[in-house]
Amino acid sequence: ELNTEEFNRRHLYFQDAIKRAAYLNSFPAAPHSAKYGINQFSDLSLNEFRDLYLRASADKAPPYSGEKREG
């Protein structure tokens, strides 16, 4: 149902995902190491993925001291 322009854009993102996976899989891998490849996010650009799914703020917190809290 995509128009040609949208289809071509998604196709490019998909090709980018294949290149990214090849790069990520190229590192020396120990047994049970992570594998990267095609999944449900492969037709999203990096920016689209970030904008849609990586929306948590990084907050500051005090270092864990091991002390028990009262109350």
Residues that bind another protein (CB under 8 A): 17, 20-21, 24, 27, 30-37, 39-42, 44, 46, 49-64, 66, 69, 71
Q: How far is the CB of 15 from another protein (least distance, A)?
A: 13
Residue with smaller CB distance to another protein, 4 or 61: 61
Please report how close the Cβ of residue 44 comes to another protein at its closest, in angstroms.
Answer: 7
What count of other Cβ atoms lies within 10 Å of the Cβ of residue 29?
A: 10
DSSP state, residue 44:
S
Q: Are 42 and 14 in contact (CB under 8 A)?
A: yes
